[in-house]
Structure 1
Amino acid sequence: MLRRPLPRLSAIALSLALSAPTLGQELSLELPDQATTPPTFDETPSFELPSLTHRDNQAISGEEMQLGRAWLRQFRAHAPLWQDPLAEHYLASLVARLLPYSQVGGIDPVVTLVASERLNAFAVPGGVIGVNAGLFAFAKGEAPLASVLAHELGHLSQNHYARGQQRAEQTRLPAMAAMLAGMLLAAGGGGDAGIAAAMGSQAALIQDQLAYSRRFEREADRLGLQTLANAGYDPQSMVEMFRTMQHMAALQGGNPPEFLLTHPVTESRISDAQARVAQLPVGTHHIDTTEYQMVRARALLAIHDQAPQQALTRLQRDGAPQAAQRYATALIDAQQGRTDAALSALDTLATRLPDLALLPASAAEVALDAGRVDDAIARSRRQLRLMPGYAPAEQLLGEALLQRDPGEAYRVLRELAARQPENPQVFTLLAEAAGRSGHRAWGHLARAEQLQLTGRIDRGIEQLDVAKEVAEDSGDANALARIEQRREAFVDYRETMEEFR
């Protein structure tokens, strides 16, 4: 949703898969499960250029999963988050589209959006992937954005996290803790102090690992290029993205994009990527989608929340489709109180583009933000009849039902929470719905989940204690069993999170 403006971060907002294999690339990625893995270009004749990769990659370990999820909780506790279910669902779908071609297995990815206008993304072990709103703004098409995600999947597929550990086992935990502190300080607005903390913690490791990190980058590039091509995207988009970022860095001097601070782009790296592209089979490439341009409009409007017309101007300047421009105009109308005009425009777009689930959900969001609760409920229900399981519409329906039928809201949100156990926003709404509908023990449990998901694990355990007392008083055996089960998981997370302190 567009209810949270993005803070202006003065320096590095967060570090994308840090190039020195001490934290970033050791941080991994995650997304929706895919059924079968389609064939890749590995089934075609081998390329002339030698490969730096190996084929013995395995599914991520339980330890990596636990470490990555604990890291994410620490990050959420301090970093500014861009809370937009529609954009988040789009990003998760895009990663899911790339994942079967990436040689990454055994992950159930979690996506998080960062409220920063700076160009960056990151991958964390255990299947966590994060993207700054600024990356959407920077990438003029879906393929450039996909190229960054494919590169990060390349890091994961080659186990760069585990391999980096082998190089620096003695300093791994202190380095990770210090680097996380620097990343969080910068992401929270600490600016240069955050950079100093992050870079200072790397000082003892960079000299020994620089060449190793460069090899990791090239491995990720090469795997990413194959992932892009196999998924139907033009692999040339990665090369063009690198060149554009390199040009951007030259213009910005000492304040380059965070991506380049952690993933330095050299001419030799670009040349190597270009040579790989020349050897990839040429096929039909994925055409840039109107949906991407609409999500990009949401990102631009979040960034330019004080001057939304700038977002529309940028879309026009970049040649965005007329439908995306009309979508942005409708959202601006909604923000400025012209609800009828906004809904009319969104309904017209939805009629013309019936396959875009984002459009009717956006209309329901506009209605809810304008206080038209019954309209929001009707719109969400209508969409879910046509598109069952569309999570943003379910979340909107649950939020709207809180004001009309808390019991039904509780049912809707509980089902959604079961499918999205890593979504703090859903548990926030679920806790309120449970409390309003008389499910007190489950309400405290939902609040505990929201607290632990956002890094406040001790307070979450306190809520579990309250939930247990309420469940015992009411004789709710099911709640008691669930509370005890979750306590074990909470304690495990607390122990893992101690590694970052």
Structure 2
Amino acid sequence: MPRLASCLFACLTCLAAGAPLAQDRTQLPEIGSSAAQLISPAQERAYARQMLGEMRRYGLLLEDPLLSDWLQSIGHRIAARSDRPEQPFTFFFVRSRDINAFATLGGYIGMNAGLVLTAETEDEVAAVLAHEVAHATQRHIVRSVESAQRDSLPILLGMLGVLAAASASDSNSAGDASQAAIAGGLALMQQRQINYTRSNEHEADRVGIQTLARSGYDPLAMASFFGRMQRATRSQGDGMPDFLRTHPVTTTRISEAKDRAEELGKRAGGLPALTDEPINPALPGHVHESLSLAHGPDPLGFALARERLRVLSAQSPTEALAEYRRRERAGDELTEAERYGYALTLLRTGKAERALALLDPLQAKHDDRFWFDLAWAEALERNGQRAEADAAFGRMLDRQPRNRAIAMSYAGVLAERGTREAGLAAQAVLRPVLSESPYDPSLQESFGRACELAGDLPRAAEAFAEAAFLSGRAEDALNQLQRLKQREDIDYVQRARIDARIAEMTPIVLELRERGIRAGDRSRSMAPGAAARTLR
């Protein structure tokens, strides 16, 4: 037993001595790491796209063109002023009213609808995005995996050494010593991962607050949002928001965030001055001119996005309608944004005339807000005023011919008319937008319906296959393309394009088959709840 005790003490002492070193390394910004050898940026993006497809397959995503563009505009404004403005980012909504946000591989950052519904300002939404962007730019996800791999081998060897010594001992306590060695090793690995996660969170706070301030947002918003989340837990007991489970908030952390924000304000003499100067001439093409600091947060835009999220994240249109009716019965006057959300629920429940009554004054007052124009045009169509709807959509397309939300909304209206002429018109509206957003499954599906109506069946089949692939049904998509290739009415260009997509999809399908996942086979994959927990 003395020999066993000394062996155990030596192993644990060596491993414990190495733990602070791993923790200290993470307190510095990542300026070049061996983590890049674990997975390349291109592989990160490829895996992230597959993850997004799986989430679509389970119906976890909330994909609305208006909301997606709103989130992307805030996210890219922050990313453009991050430590890695050249890194591509993709921001998306999760169809859940739980309060959470997460960063994953390849600059893919997800935000639950519930977080925006809980936030009180655009600055608070931007603060959470800045925190998640910092996780991505500092490569915390890959570095965590690398750290776990690096730590697991010496800890495992130490456990094996203790187990070997215990098995060689004739003592009656050898079995207890073996169990203690296993429990101690696992506990040490878990503690080192906790230490690494805590240091990542503090680093993301520090880097995120700096990025938030550079982006023209209030750097105090991060501390205020964390504080409100902490207060929420006191009244909810065990019902802690998921955001706090994955981003543990303490009084110390809130104080540090507030102190950092105030220090930034002192250095700059207040909040950063808004300017119309270019951000950075070296920024990549995915960063648009709309990211200029010439404008600050948009309170009405945030309020409209929150109400639209409230409608689209409800369990059903009827449930959303009940929410607004409860507010109406409470006697409080609805804000403009709330009237907009109420009108959307009325449209979704077949009450177009009442929706128009709410939207008419809003559209007339805010002629610079195409969100009102779009809802108004849809209400005109649903109310049987087809000519007026066409005119309204035409004016919007003249001003913004490549706007995805306008194009998809009008194409949906045209598809409901069910004529060949409507299909041809929808094709013309969608084609320029499709070239700019080829990874949008809803857009691909909308284009497929337009092609069907127009009589272009091969192109429709191609678009439907692409939508299936982007929605996590890679094998279905491959089968559709292989059947399409057998048709005699496709030309040389189409055949070459189909062959190229088959070549791209085949390795992905083979990999999924090796993992035991086939199209539509959910029994071998994760349950939706498990998938969401893993992503967090």
> Smaller-chain TM-score range?
0.7 to 0.9
Does 1:388 pair with 2:401? yes
Residues 37-62 of structure 1: CA deviation (Å, up to 9, x unaligned): xxxxxxxxxxxxx9732445999711
The one of 87, 110, 116 aligned to 2:90: 110
Equivalences for residues 420-435 of structure 1 within 5 A: 420-435=437-452
Structure 1 pair 340/152, CA: closer, same or farther in 2 (3 Å)?
A: same
Alignment partner, residue 379 of structure 1:
392
> Shift of the alpha carbon at 1:156?
0.7
> Shift of the alpha carbon at 1:90?
1.2
| Comparing 162-171 and 319-328, the one that deviates more | 319-328
Residues 329-362 of structure 1: CA deviation (Å, up to 9, x unaligned): 4334434544234335434323322332211122
Q: CA separation in 2, counterparts of 1:158 and 1:458?
A: 35
> Shift of the alpha carbon at 1:216?
0.8
Alignment partner, residue 259 of structure 1:
243
| Comparing 382-391 and 485-494, the one that deviates more | 485-494
Alignment partner, residue 63 of structure 1:
43
Alignment partner, residue 484 of structure 1:
499
Query: Gaps spanning 5+ residues in structure 1: where?
Result: 1-49, 173-201
Equivalences for residues 92-111 of structure 1 within 5 A: 92-111=72-91
> Contact 1:143–1:233 at 8 Å: present in 2 too?
yes
Structure 1 pair 227/479, CA: closer, same or farther in 2 (3 Å)?
A: same
| Comparing 320-329 and 274-283, the one that deviates more | 320-329
Alignment partner, residue 461 of structure 2:
444
> Contact 2:83–2:137 at 8 Å: present in 1 too?
yes
> Shift of the alpha carbon at 1:233?
0.8
Residues 244-290 of structure 1: CA deviation (Å, up to 9, x unaligned): 11111222222211111111112222222122112113225834420
Structure 1 pair 258/367, CA: closer, same or farther in 2 (3 Å)?
A: farther
Q: CA separation in 2, counterparts of 1:208 and 1:496?
A: 33
Does 1:135 pair with 2:115? yes
The one of 296, 300, 303 aligned to 1:290: 300
Equivalences for residues 7-406 of structure 1 within 5 A: 52-56=28-32, 61-169=41-149, 206-281=190-265, 282-283=270-271, 284=273, 286-303=296-313, 305=317, 306=319, 308=321, 310-311=323-324, 322-335=335-348, 337-368=350-381, 374-402=387-415, 403=417, 404=419, 405-406=422-423
> Shift of the alpha carbon at 1:492?
4.1
Structure 1 pair 226/90, CA: closer, same or farther in 2 (3 Å)?
A: same
Percent of aligned positions that are identical: 30
Q: CA separation in 2, counterparts of 1:313 and 1:302?
A: 18
Q: CA separation in 1, counterparts of 2:300 and 2:43?
A: 39
> Shift of the alpha carbon at 1:390?
1.7
Amino acid at match of 2:52: L
Structure 1 pair 54/83, CA: closer, same or farther in 2 (3 Å)?
A: closer
Q: CA separation in 2, counterparts of 1:126 and 1:419?
A: 20
Q: CA separation in 2, counterparts of 1:171 and 1:415?
A: 51
Q: CA separation in 2, counterparts of 1:493 and 1:204?
A: 37
Q: How big is the alpha-carbon RMSD for the aligned residues of Structure 1 and Structure 2?
A: 3.2
Q: CA separation in 1, counterparts of 2:55 and 2:98?
A: 17
> Shift of the alpha carbon at 1:412?
2.4
Alignment partner, residue 435 of structure 2:
418
Amino acid at match of 2:122: E
Q: Give the SS at the match of 2:102.
A: strand
Q: Which has the higher contact order (CA 8 A, sep 6+)?
A: 1
> Contact 1:60–1:105 at 8 Å: present in 2 too?
no
Q: Give the SS at the match of 1:388.
A: coil
> Contact 1:104–1:156 at 8 Å: present in 2 too?
no
> Contact 1:440–1:467 at 8 Å: present in 2 too?
no
Alignment partner, residue 22 of structure 1:
none
> Contact 1:113–1:133 at 8 Å: present in 2 too?
yes
> Contact 1:376–1:397 at 8 Å: present in 2 too?
no
Amino acid at match of 1:410: Q
Q: Give the SS at the match of 1:362.
A: helix
Q: CA separation in 2, counterparts of 1:166 and 1:211?
A: 14
Structure 1 pair 272/491, CA: closer, same or farther in 2 (3 Å)?
A: farther
> Shift of the alpha carbon at 1:205?
5.7
Amino acid at match of 1:253: G
Query: Gaps spanning 5+ residues in structure 2: where?
Result: 1-25, 153-185, 275-295, 518-524, 526-536
Between Structure 1 and Structure 2, which shows a larger proportion of helix residues?
2
Amino acid at match of 1:390: N
Structure 1 pair 360/204, CA: closer, same or farther in 2 (3 Å)?
A: farther
Structure 1 pair 313/392, CA: closer, same or farther in 2 (3 Å)?
A: same
Q: CA separation in 1, counterparts of 2:469 and 2:485?
A: 16
> Shift of the alpha carbon at 1:302?
3.5
> Contact 1:150–1:227 at 8 Å: present in 2 too?
yes
> Shift of the alpha carbon at 1:487?
1.7
Does 1:459 pair with 2:476? yes
> Contact 2:381–2:389 at 8 Å: present in 1 too?
yes
Q: CA separation in 2, counterparts of 1:312 and 1:288?
A: 27
> Contact 1:118–1:258 at 8 Å: present in 2 too?
yes
Amino acid at match of 1:217: E
Alignment partner, residue 192 of structure 1:
none
